[in-house]
Amino acid sequence: MEDSTKRFSNRVENYVKYRPHYPKEIITFLTNEIGLTPQNIIADIGSGTGISSELFLQNGNKVYGIEPNKEMREAGEKYLEKYDKFLSVAGTAEDTLLESDSMDIIVCGQAFHWFDTDKCKIEFTRIIKNNGYVVLIWNERNTENSPLLTEYENLIKKFGTDYDKVSQKDEEVNEKIKIFFDERGYKTKHISNYQLFDFEGFKGRLLSSSYVPSENEVMIVELKELFDKYQKDGNVKFEYDTNIFYGQLK
């Protein structure tokens, strides 16, 4: 399987346009639950094109975006250029290049499953302040309650190049999180999220995934059939569960 830091290099444009953002309720929840304030300094590990960083920048936080992929990092810098509190860093989860005991909160949005769990835990423990929090956030397609997304999942399995290798089953993710937080434990929160897509957006969302071929006429034909089956007023509803896992390392 290719280097995870390079997987999305040729997907950046679609990733920026069509990947889901995170519900603003996350900020309200973290404010009430862990005492998030605009003064907290945030490390966004695997910040990609800036989707998760923006959530905290809009809250007034200073955010260090750690992203090893050059194309993704540059897209994030461009996307977030209006925020003077965003600092882009060409580091990795295992070597962030940040100072020790410097971060109030570490955020990982949609990226945690790519990390070396043992090495990144050592690094996160180094850079986070005492009593700081690690917050893992990702949008998971709601395949259980959406016939559209059940069929979409089947299409990905049919045409995906290495989907079985890179997709994280619930039990695998939960085990990785359990190992990461260890005996200190963690808490969870789930928030509903969705996107509305016309066909161009629906296609772009599919092509933003690193495990599908960038050009496959048969795949696109079947995607159009799926869209036509479920569209209403020219759009389909792409539903997610936004999962939040949070805890402390020291």
Is the predicted pLDDT of residue 33 greater than 60, yes or no?
yes
pLDDT of residue 167: 63
Task: Count the residues in the chain.
Answer: 250
Mean pLDDT over residues 120-149, rounded? 96
Is the predicted pLDDT of residue 83 greater than 70, yes or no?
yes
pLDDT over 90, % of the chain = 77
Domains of the chain by residue range:
12-141+169-194+241-247
Q: What is the pLDDT of residues 52-61, one digit of tens each?
A: 999 999 999 9
Options 3.40.50.150, 3.30.428.10, 3.40.50.300, 3.90.79.10; CATH for 12-141+169-194+241-247 is: 3.40.50.150
56 Cβ contact list (under 8 Å, min separation 6): 27, 42, 44, 63, 107
Cα 155 from chain centre: 22
Q: Give residue 170's pLDDT band: very low, low, confident or very high (50, 70, 90).
A: low
Distances (CA, A) of 7 to 86, 201, 246: 24, 21, 27
Q: What is the pLDDT of residues 103-119, one digit of tens each?
A: 999 999 988 988 999 99
pLDDT of residue 191: 97
Q: What is the pLDDT of the chain when averaged over all its residues?
A: 91
pLDDT over 70, % of the chain = 92
Query: pTM for this one?
Result: 0.89
Mean pLDDT over residues 204-221, rounded? 88
Name residue, tokens 């007034």. Answer: 60
